[in-house]
Structure 1
Amino acid sequence: MSTVQSVERTIAILKILSKEPKGLGITEIHQKVELPKTTVHRILSTLQKYNLVIQDKETTRYKLGMYIVNLASSILENIDLRSIARPYLEQLRDETNEVIHLCIMENDEVVYIDKFEGNQRIRISSSIGFRAMMHCTGVGKVLLAGMDETKVKQILQRKGMPKFTKNTITDPDKLLTHLDSIRNYGCAIDEIEHEEGIRCMAAPVCDYQGEVIAAISISGVADKVTTERIEKELKAKILETSRSISNALGYNTNF
């Protein structure tokens, strides 16, 4: 048996055990992977040696070992969101020729942690480290849409909903209804709600558990980032980018 084949068989067994929290007996594993029992036993013995698999002494079932958690934790601790997202955001900038942002939430505010400039004739007043309120920005509304209603209300109560333009939503109930539409639509649009003359659309970035941990956006002057262009071009592009980044972070389900 080749080294590659051994690795493939080992991975197959680990994948099966990952879906069985109560564990499986050797016969069940052998049936699922369609390998001889002797081969399965040999692989399991090696995995046990390195604490990747454990065997319950009472039931004799095999389960994933805690060292799997250690390996996963090491990966998660070293994930650099900006580094992972950068090539996808640069591609989005090149495809749209608009300003692209990557944002997270901190202390109930949006924080811009990366920015990629397009060939804008008007400069947008954001920069890396820039902070903005959540109720009036596309990225902020996407992050709010990823929360439950109780948490959203708490944030709005703490921060308020000041008016920045004539389009800013300042009524909590209207915003909650608006967040429902964002969840259904898949992304959020800042309809010139934060900065005069600037329209923005944003989409969520999810971690390996499916939690919304960041938002990305396309921003530009309103006569270029039009509603028609959003529907015909930009929505598909930003959702594709958000899925790619989320998948790179370990999230494998479409949203």
Structure 2
Amino acid sequence: MSKSKSNFIQSVDRALQILECFSKEENELGVTQIANMLDFYKSTTFGLLSTLENRGYLKQNPESGKYRLGIKLFELGKLVEENMDLRTSAIPYLKGLVDKYGETAHLAMKDGNEVIYIDKVEGKNAIGIINSQVGRVARMHCTGVGKAVLAFMSEEDIEKIIENIKFNRYTSNTITDKNKLKEELKKIRKKKYSVDNEEIEIGLKCVAAPIINYDDEAVGSISVSGPTSRMNDEKMNLIAEDVKKVSIEISRVLGYKSL
């Protein structure tokens, strides 16, 4: 018998199944409903519900007799949220990308209507990238990390931000038209990654992907940047696949389940 099976406690599993019955659509459920949903005996279901209510994980509506999720789950959820530190979660993955490709990896975080670099791991062949210094703002319209975050925001938020972007031109490749940027964002959502093709600095290319949290919000992004001389199409494609995989792993650490 495997370790997981030998340590399996049926009553605990059933209690957790009950908690997972609740959703936005089904936020209040009765004993019979839950018993039918899980194919449990009604007496077993009632005993588990009473125990969960006693511990604060469920609360009974005195008028309908039905149950809803309790304050204890909210308290525990806040503890989880407070310990979901983006930087701590991402650093090991950034180092892995740097070890594999020898280029510079970045971590950026959404801050209001901006994206800010919060960490940077340089590779052995790293070049000095002034625009990506920790603490600097990443331009939404012409950086990989900026476009990766913007593309995965709600349509309403995208419109608000685009209306306030100052479309400064940094190179001949910089996007300076809101409609062109919108088309670019559509492509990014489809590919699941963004590219900075010498848009902020001549001689520099970058591949980035979004980090999405438990609430389906794009809270940041990661990227790998390097000089155009080394970032050919083949290498960019390889990096893109790995950056996407890493962004998914970090997103899952932060509680995202829809990937």
CA 1:19/1:36 → structure 2, altered by over 3 Å: closer, same or farther? farther
Pick aligned residue for 1:215 from 210, 217, 221: 221
1:63 aligns with 2:68: yes
Q: Tell me the distance in 2 between the aligned counterparts of 1:73 and 1:11.
A: 19
Matches within 5 A, 1:73-112: 73-106=78-111, 108-112=113-117
Equivalent residue number for residue 198 of structure 1: 204
Equivalent residue number for residue 135 of structure 1: 141
1:252 aligns with 2:247: no
Between 143-152 and 235-244, the greater mean CA deviation after superposition: 143-152
Q: 5+ residue gaps in structure 1?
A: none
Between 203-212 and 87-96, the greater mean CA deviation after superposition: 87-96
Give the C-alpha shift of residue 244 in structure 1. Answer: 0.5
What amino acid maps onto 1:176 in structure 2?
Answer: K
Pick aligned residue for 1:5 from 3, 7, 10: 10
Give the C-alpha shift of residue 85 in structure 1. Answer: 1.5
Equivalent residue number for residue 186 of structure 2: 180
Equivalent residue number for residue 3 of structure 2: none
CA 1:30/1:113 → structure 2, altered by over 3 Å: closer, same or farther? same
CA RMSD of aligned residues (A): 2.1
Equivalent residue number for residue 155 of structure 1: 161
Q: Tell me the distance in 2 between the aligned counterparts of 1:18 and 1:154.
A: 31
Aligned partners of 2:153 and 2:217 also within 8 Å: no
1:226 aligns with 2:197: no
Q: Helix, strand or coil for the counterpart of 2:20? A: helix
Give the C-alpha shift of residue 156 in structure 1. Answer: 4.2
Q: Helix, strand or coil for the counterpart of 1:16? A: coil
Q: Tell me the distance in 1 between the aligned counterparts of 2:218 and 2:42.
A: 42
Q: 5+ residue gaps in structure 2?
A: 1-6
Aligned partners of 1:102 and 1:113 also within 8 Å: yes
Equivalent residue number for residue 195 of structure 2: 189
TM-score (norm 1): 0.90
TM-score (norm 2): 0.88
**Once the two structures are aligned, what percentage of the paired residues are identical?**
38
Give the C-alpha shift of residue 123 in structure 1. Answer: 2.6
CA 1:8/1:154 → structure 2, altered by over 3 Å: closer, same or farther? closer
1:48 aligns with 2:53: yes
Give the C-alpha shift of residue 152 in structure 1. Answer: 3.7
Number of matched pairs? 252
Between 47-56 and 71-80, the greater mean CA deviation after superposition: 71-80
Aligned partners of 1:198 and 1:222 also within 8 Å: yes
Give the C-alpha shift of residue 124 in structure 1. Answer: 2.3
Give the C-alpha shift of residue 157 in structure 1. Answer: 4.5
Aligned partners of 1:204 and 1:215 also within 8 Å: yes
Q: Tell me the distance in 2 between the aligned counterparts of 1:70 and 1:102.
A: 29
Matches within 5 A, 1:104-123: 104-106=109-111, 108-123=113-128
Pick aligned residue for 2:246 from 237, 241, 244: 241
Q: Helix, strand or coil for the counterpart of 2:22? A: helix
Q: Helix, strand or coil for the counterpart of 1:100? A: strand
Deviations 1:49-83 (A, max 9, x none): 12211222233222211321222122213321101
